[in-house]
Chain A
Amino acid sequence: MKAVIDGRVFEAPGKTTILEAARRLGLDIPTLCDHPRLEPAASCRMCLVEISGRRDPVPACATVLEDGMHVATDTPALRELRRGVLEMILAEHPSACLVCADRNACREPKEGIRKTVEPTGCVLCPKDGRCRLQDTAAAVGLERIVFPEAPRSAEPRRDDPLIDRDGGLCILCGLCVRVCRDLRGASVLTFVGRGGRTTVGTALDLTLLESGCLFCGACVDVCPTGALLERAARHVRPDERKPLLCALCGEGCLLQAEFDRGRLLGTRPAPGPANRGQACVKGRFLVADILGHPSRLTGPLARRDGTLVPVSWPDALTAAAAGLRSSDGPFEAVGSAQDSCEDLWALHELGREGFASGRFSIAEPPSPLEVIRKAAGVEAGEGWPDVPNAGLAAMKTILVFDEDLPVTAPILGLEVHQAVQQGARLIVFGPGESCLDRCAKVRVRAGLESAAEFLLEILAGLARTAAGPGHPGRAELGPAARMKPEESSRAERAVFKEKASRAAVILEKRKPAAFIFGPRFAAGTQGRRNAAALWNLARLTGAVLIPVAWEANARGAQALFGGGGKNGCEGAPLPAAGSLLLAGDGPPPPCREGAFIVVAAAYESGALEAADVVLPRTLFAEQDGTWVNREGRIQRMRAAVPAPGEARPLWRMAVDLARAIGSGGPSASAAGEILAGIEKERPSFAGASRAWPDEKPVFLSATAVSRTGFASVPEAGECSAAEEGSRDPDDVHGLRAGAVLKSLRAVRRR
């Protein structure tokens, strides 16, 4: 395919729109309604271009470049047309910021009558200076507007949390409606009315909250004007932007932190490799609040005469080292799957080498992937290939177990929605409601204790039709499928079976398939049974396994230490610890009466009551570190936000403690040195030191699984009790960040 745009030759294989091609040639075509991840709407009419041989100009965003086309993007007629269209748009939009004669002078900070220096700015618009419409007007060269101003009269709506809506600034580009419906699958925003009275609103004019909005903020980020705006970021003009890796869940979104004179204003999604420009309510709106929370610990504390008093770092380290050294019984370091690889590794080293009888554990229950590995009998170091988010679009069937994906794994949720839009069939299993229900082909409303039954029913259905050696036998199919017969009626069982057979038909016809499951699926007494059944079905159908990780570094912790739980001492019964270093926010492990407890915490919380020494720690954005996201993508990041007070990274505490104790253990002066150590000892982390978001992506490496047989599915009830997933996925290092979200969601459900 070869075409000419503005006299320059463009050559590319495959389909390209004129807009894409022009941008690749470095030509600037003004647009107001295009988005790289959305189908073109061609509604703003700014990108009109001329094609020789065609009478009318065509929109560049929606026109596919054809072989031999001659395109002109910047002719006098087009300039006139664009100016005409923009004039029309600005006739309905306040335009003082564009055409006021004093607009430049008034942006200067001025001495006001109040004797304080205040920016007078254009008081009208909360987005002045960050506005795509302003940029477009500058690009088109519009200087005056002939039409009388006829603003769209609309009262600003401020009745929602986080987001303000001002219809008066809306230019109806439709980006918010399209991103909400087509990309996020929420369909909260829509067009209302027709003709000149068209507005963007919600069904029945409810608030966003009542309409089921998840506050992902995608609409705010695409809005070219100030019509949709983050309430906390009105009238701001960031002077500095830094990349930041969100560690509030397992998705590993790249964000952009915006600062004003060193103060973190907020974050917005960046086009990172995992999230590709999207985020969720936590990453979009809550990072600054979580980092700057008033209950953050800013200095070390030590217990003197029964009360915790502030001390200096050297004093705290001395006190901690003395206490740890003198206590009898084994030492235990507890980390969290939210921590970076470096933090976990340093704690692990401290437990392993700093003490004669030391150990290291992770507060969270074992990762679901680990449960499946064990159920399937997969060797250590072996693993399945990971599916990057972009790869989900190729899936023809997607089976989701009890995960409200738009909430627990927002990026995965939107990728699933995209795949469904492109024709994938969705099967949702779980007791609760999920945002994905409305696009599910099969919806099974049952608890996870019946998940194995459902899977075995599908397996039995497939086994009846499948022939050949790759065929599960009696033992693999497990005991005859039954769904808690004492609790379910005949009709319920019939529905259950019918849904399983429908799912079997879909799975048989539409390949490839992906199975998505989370910590709850593999937790509890049924975990092993569910896992074995899922593995067998994946074996039979060739489906890929996609575990949902609630914690930011769950995959990393699993790759480092083989899952969560009491990993340092698998097999041996746990003796009660004599001294503890608590860095995870789960329930503390058993310890002896009078044990010495050092707590490394970010927030004031109940855990501090038992502490002898409290060390303030930094959080994800405040320290260098490496996280492995749900996809198995290794991501290294530099500190973006200054640490509060004297807080230090966890790995540095471990290093300092080892030095203070005077024994072996971690020694490093930078996080990168620890990462180098990990790379040496853990082959799955090969290349991790090159894993910057802007470099070539690095995934956890694993050798292919050698085991080929089916797993034997245990009888219901015979599995040993495992820890329940007790942690709230929305909580961050002990901060009840989830409470805010819970209240939002409670209102939504009502």
Chain B
Amino acid sequence: MRLAHPGHLADWRTRLREEAPAFERTIVVTAGTCGRASGAMPLIEALRSEIDGQGFIGRIGLLITGCHGYCEAEPSLVVQPEGYFYGRLKPSDAAEIVAAAGTRGRFVERLGYKRKPGARPVRRLADLPFYRKQHRRLTEAHLGLDPERIEDYVLRGGYGALAKALFEMTASAVIEAVEASGLRGRGGAGFPTGFKWRIVRNAAGHPKHVVGNADEGDPGAYMDRGLLEGNPHAILEGMIIGAYAVGASEGCLYVRAEYPLAVANIRRAVDQARDCGLLGENILGSEFHFDVRVAQGAGAFVSGEETALIASIEGRRPHPRPRPPYPSESGLGGRPTVINNVETWANIAPIIDRGPDWFASVGAKRSRGTKIFSLVGRVRRTGLVEVPMGVSLRDIIEDIGGGALPGHTLKAVQTGGPSGGCLPAASLDVKVDYEDLARAGSIMGSGGLIVLDDRACMVDVARYFVGFAAEESCGKCAPCRIGTRRLRDMLDRIVAGLAEPADLDRLESLARTVQAASLCGLGRTAVNPVLSTLRYFCAEYKAHIEDRSCPAGVCRDLLSYAIDPGLCTGCGLCRKACPAGAITGRPRSPHAVSGERCVKCGACADACPPDVKAVRIGRAADGSPGPRRGRRRP
């Protein structure tokens, strides 16, 4: 099927609509990486054999899609057209679901989502608390199309925006539309996309390039993966339109190699688009030539930085280089290059198709449109969340995510991954908007939201993120390479109870030096977790340093374990569980922990029966640091 004329696309769509099989019901199984990891594939097999075995072939269709966001409930499915949602399924549930779907679309009460045990289940997907407050523009399509079939995308109006851009709009009109929409880069920095395109369009040099950045390395963030797995053609269409707008003839999609399913889907999509004449020479019969290749990263976080990404595509070590010159003037191969995050690219086709006003109809004042977040951590419902810009963090965490887990309280939220900052629970009313988040001491980043509750030690969290940056620093510039390691060493000392009060000032001044002197964004923002926790949770640092205690009970070296003789029943479970042989005591008489031998693993506390709870965890009674393992004294 080669489309050599814009009319061919419409004809094709009409034909696809006519030829579409008329199922009574369609069972939509979400099988992104998250679904597959939770067992979607056996479920699909079971559903397929049940449809066959119960004789519903031709009446019940099976659609396998990418992730729809509610990863918490995977493996899950939706029965259309009713929109009945079932989550956390087992293959053995397939028979019941197929049977119910076959009999006038009955709902299986047993498998429905319940807010709390014993409550009436919520039937429809749209009524689920997770989805009710979302505004799904990009991710909505994921439930309706098979990412392996270009036909499904075209059937839903796909590549219509491309035809419109190529045949009804000039290149500058496309840029004007993107500018008018107010779209800003979704990769984190929030640079106005239309403006970036205009710079590249006006820059000298040929051939120009467009690059899709899907090197998503933030721990706990997977927005790009969701898009690539769920709707790869939307990204591709955006890139083709962008290439037309800036006058580029070559494109590259850089996907991290840790996303095999995303790589496979986007590769297949590129091949399909090329076979259909949507890539290559004379796209849709126009005078416009453009092609895309898919490049894979080799597992370096720094490759997401645009100059390092260019180096990596060119086959060099991903070292960032100083800017200017910006890639929009001298990028891939020294040519003007547009680099946008894949989420930005996915927004392009709807802007062209429905117009900039539609796009700008939601959002905050300076941040328009919707943004996908990956909501993870200590929250009741996790997954990919798409909301209009400008909603508050509280809306996302409490209304969509359901708030803290039972029995715990929300403590902080880390936005923007290792480059972002920790905002305290008291700041949850801050709006998700590039400027507001920056003012609060964090960043929008690419959209990772990690929720922390009272069990998190903020010093330990800062230490984790700084350690991540230290490991992932490319090693080129001294402040990032050495500074992050020294920061981690200092935080190591703090959590080990070895720090002194002056260390707090040293920590901050070192962090400020790294921030000011680093070469690229990785180093400049790597200190944000430290600076933001210092700003909002200074008391916790002081507790570690001055009182040598960890209020959250996380930092092992600051803990002490003791057994309350009044509560201990002498059951001996803790003695058996202790790996260090630190617990002594005779059966049926109170046991005791030897501080000398205790390695503070917590096994005794876990082993102690919940109705006894005799193990007391507290800070070291004498304030001494206690025994160290493998750490040097100063």
Contact of A88 among B473, B474, B483, B506 (CB under 8 A): B483
B300 neighbours in A (Cβ, 8 Å)? 194
A42-B483 CB under 8 A given contacts A81-B516, A195-B475:
no
Which chain B residue has the least Cβ–Cβ distance from A181?
A: B316
Indicate whether B293 reaches chain A with its CB closer than 8 angstroms: no
Q: Is the CB of A85 within 8 A of B489?
A: no
Please, how many angstroms separate the alpha-carbon atoms of A197 and B475 in the complex? Answer: 8
Q: Report the Cα distance A84→B475, complex, angstroms.
A: 17
Contact B322 A198 (CB under 8 A): no
**Chain B residues near A89 (CB-CB < 8 A):** 478, 482
State in angstroms the CA–CA spacing of A80 and B509 once bound together.
10
The answer to whether B478 and A198 have CB atoms under 8 Å apart is no
A196 pairs with B485, CB closer than 8 A? yes
Residue of A nearest to B488 (CB): A196
Which chain A positions have C-beta within 8 A of B475? 172, 191, 193-198
Quick check: is B232 within 8 A (CB to CB) of the other chain?
no
Q: In the bound complex, what is the Cα–Cα distance between A728 and B477 (angstroms)? A: 46
The yes or no answer to B481 lying at the interface (CB within 8 A) is: yes
Interface mask (A67-108 → B, CB under 8 Å = 1, otherwise 0): 000000000000011001100110110000000000000000
- Residues from chain A with a CB closer than 8 A to the CB of B513 are 80-81, 84-85, 88
Give the chain B neighbours of A42 by CB distance below 8 A.
Answer: 321-322, 477, 519
Rounded to whole angstroms, the CA-CA distance of A148 and B498 in the bound complex is 14
Chain A residues with CB under 8 A of B509 = 84
Q: Which of B295-329 contact A (CB under 8 A)?
A: 300, 302, 317, 319, 321-322, 324
**Interface residue from A56, A64, A88 paired with B478 (Cβ < 8 Å):** A88
- Do residues B516 and A44 form an inter-chain contact, with CB atoms below 8 A? no
Report the nearest B residue to A200, measured CB to CB.
Answer: B475
Q: Are A198 and B481 in contact (CB under 8 A)?
A: yes
Task: Let me know if B390 is at the binding interface, CB within 8 A.
Answer: no
Which residues of B from 440 to 476 have beta carbons under 8 Å from A? 470-476
CB atoms of B317 and A191 under 8 A apart = yes
Type the 1/0 row for A638-650, where 1 means its CB is closer than 8 Å to any CB of B.
0000000000000
Note all chain B residues with C-beta closer than 8 A to A57.
Answer: 516-517
CB pair A56–B516 under 8 Å, yes or no, is yes
On whether the beta carbons of A43 and B478 are closer than 8 Å, the reply is yes
Distance in angstroms from A623 CB to nearest chain B CB is 48
Of residues 568 through 626 on chain A, the ones whose CB sits less than 8 Å from some CB of chain B are none
Give the contacts of B261-297 with A (CB-CB under 8 A): none
Please, which residue of chain B has its CB at the minimum distance from the CB of A44? B478
How many Å lie between the Cα of A174 and that of B470 in the bound state?
A: 19
A113 on the interface (CB 8 Å rule)?
no
A544 to B: closest C-beta gap in Å? 27
From B321, B478, B486, give the contact of A45 (CB < 8 A): B478
Check B418 for interface membership: any CB of A closer than 8 A: no
A48 CA / B524 CA spacing, docked (Å) = 14
Interface size grouping (class) on chain A: 35 or more
Query: Among residues 158 to 190 in chain A, which have CB atoms less than 8 Å away from a CB atom of chain B?
Result: 171-172, 174, 190
Neighbouring B residues of A171 by C-beta, 8 Å: 478
A85: chain B residues at CB < 8 Å are 478-479, 513, 517
Cα-based distance from A77 to B476 in the complex (angstroms):
23
B517 touches A48 (CB 8 A): yes
Residues of A close to B317: CB separation below 8 A:
190-191
Q: Are B473 and A194 in contact (CB under 8 A)?
A: yes
Q: How far is the CA of A386 from the CA of B478 in the complex (A)?
A: 45
Say yes or no: is A40 at the interface (Cβ < 8 Å to chain B).
Answer: yes
- Given A41-B476, A44-B477, A146-B506, answer yes or no on A196-B516 (Cβ-Cβ < 8 Å): no
Tell me which residues across on chain A come within 8 A of B344, comparing CB atoms.
none
CA distance A193 to B299 in the complex (A): 12
Instruction: Answer whether A194 and B479 are a contact pair too, CB < 8 Å, given A42-B322, A45-B517, A85-B517.
Output: no
CB of A59 within 8 Å of the partner chain = yes
Q: Chain A nearest CB: distance from B419 CB in Å? A: 16
A44, A48, A63 — which one has the most chain B CB atoms within 10 A of its CB? A44
Interface centre among A64, A92, A174, A194 (most CB of B within 10 A): A194
> Which residues of the partner chain A approach B519 to less than 8 Å between Cβ atoms?
42-43, 45, 59
Q: Are A195 and B517 in contact (CB under 8 A)?
A: no
> Which residues of A have CB within 8 Å of B478?
43-45, 85, 88-89, 171-172
Q: Is B518 an interface residue (CB 8 A)?
A: yes
In this complex, the member of B474, B479, B489 whose beta carbon has the largest number of chain A beta carbons within 10 angstroms is B479
Neighbour of B471 across the interface among A63, A146, A172, A195, CB < 8 A = A195
A45 near B479 (CB under 8 angstroms)?
Answer: yes
- Decide yes or no whether B510 CB sits under 8 A from chain A: yes
As a 0/1 sequence over residues 33 to 48 of chain A, the CB contacts with chain B under 8 angstroms (1 = contact) are 0000000111111001
Contact partner, B517, options A84, A148, A194, Cβ 8 Å: A84
* A744 interface hit (Cβ, 8 Å): no
Q: Does B118 contact A (CB under 8 A)?
A: no
Given contacts A42-B519, A194-B474, contact A88 B482 (CB under 8 A): yes
Question: Would you list which residues of chain B between 322 and 346 have a CB under 8 Å from chain A?
Answer: 322, 324
When chains A and B are docked, how far (Å) is the Cα of A190 from the Cα of B315? 14
Chain A nearest CB, measured from B306 CB (Å): 16
**CB of B483, distance to nearest CB on chain A (Å):** 5
Q: How many angstroms from the CA of A92 to the CA of B475 in the assembled complex?
A: 13
Residues from chain B with a CB closer than 8 A to the CB of A198 are 474-475, 481
A147:B486 contact, CB within 8 angstroms: yes
Cβ-based interface call for B634 (8 A): yes
Distance between Cα atoms of A63 and B322 in the complex (Å): 9
- The interface bits of chain A over 183-216 (1 if a CB of B lies within 8 angstroms of the residue's CB, else 0) are 0000000110111111000000000000000000
Q: A43-B519, A174-B476, A191-B475 are in contact. Are A148 and B481 (CB under 8 A)?
A: no
Q: Are B510 and A84 in contact (CB under 8 A)?
A: yes
Distance in Å: Cβ of B269 to nearest Cβ of chain A? 31
Find the residue from B473, B482, B513, B518 having the highest chain A CB count within 10 A.
B482
Across the interface, which residues of B come within 8 angstroms of A148, CB to CB? 489, 634
In the complex, A62 has a CB within 8 A of chain B: yes
Is the beta-carbon distance between A62 and B322 smaller than 8 angstroms? yes
Q: How far is the CA of A471 from the CA of B300 in the complex (A)?
A: 57
Report the bound CA distance from A150 to B477 in whole Å. 17
**Residues in A neighbouring B471, C-beta threshold 8 A:** 194-196
Q: How far is the CA of A605 from the CA of B2 in the complex (A)?
A: 79
**Contact assessment for A150 and B489 in the assembled complex, using a CB-CB cutoff below 8 Å:** yes
A31 to B509, CA, bound (A): 22
Q: Which residues of B contact A147 (CB under 8 A)?
A: 486, 489
Residues on A with beta carbons closer than 8 Å to the beta carbon of B479: 45, 84-85, 88
Q: Among the interface residues B302, B324, B472, B477, which one has the most CB atoms of the partner chain A within 10 A?
A: B477
Instruction: For the complex formed, measure the closest distance between the CB of A584 and the CB atoms of chain B, giving whole angstroms.
Output: 49
Instruction: Tell me how far the C-beta of A186 lies from the nearest C-beta in chain B, rounded to whole angstroms.
Output: 16
**Max chain A CB contacts within 10 Å: which of B474, B478, B485, B486?**
B478
Question: In the complex, what distance in Å separates the CA atom of A172 from the CA atom of B481?
Answer: 10
* A129 smallest CB distance to B (angstroms): 23
B494 CB, min distance to chain A CBs, angstroms: 14
Contact indicator per residue, chain B 477-519, by CB within 8 Å of chain A (1) or not (0): 1110111011001000000000000000010011001001111
Assess whether A59 is in contact with B322, with CB atoms less than 8 Å apart.
Answer: yes
Name the CB-closest residue of A to B634. A148
Cβ 8 A contact of A91, one of B476, B482, B518: B482
Least Cβ–Cβ distance between A424 and chain B, in angstroms:
15
| Cα–Cα, bound, A148→B482 (Å) | 12
* Minimum Cβ distance to chain A for residue B381 (Å): 35
Q: Which residue of A lies closest to B490 (CB)?
A: A147
What are 19 of the A-B contact pairs (CB < 8 Å)? Answer: A40-B322, A43-B477, A44-B477, A56-B516, A88-B482, A88-B483, A89-B482, A91-B482, A150-B485, A150-B486, A150-B489, A172-B475, A172-B478, A191-B317, A191-B476, A195-B473, A195-B474, A196-B473, A196-B475
The 3 residue pairs across chains A and B that have the minimum distance between CB atoms: A198-B475, A84-B513, A62-B322
Apart from A148-B634, A150-B489, list 12 A-B contacts with CB within 8 A. A43-B476, A43-B477, A45-B518, A88-B486, A89-B482, A150-B486, A191-B317, A194-B471, A194-B472, A195-B471, A196-B482, A196-B485
A positions within 8 Å CB-CB of B: 40-45, 48, 56-59, 62-64, 80-81, 84-85, 88-89, 91-92, 146-148, 150, 171-172, 174, 190-191, 193-198
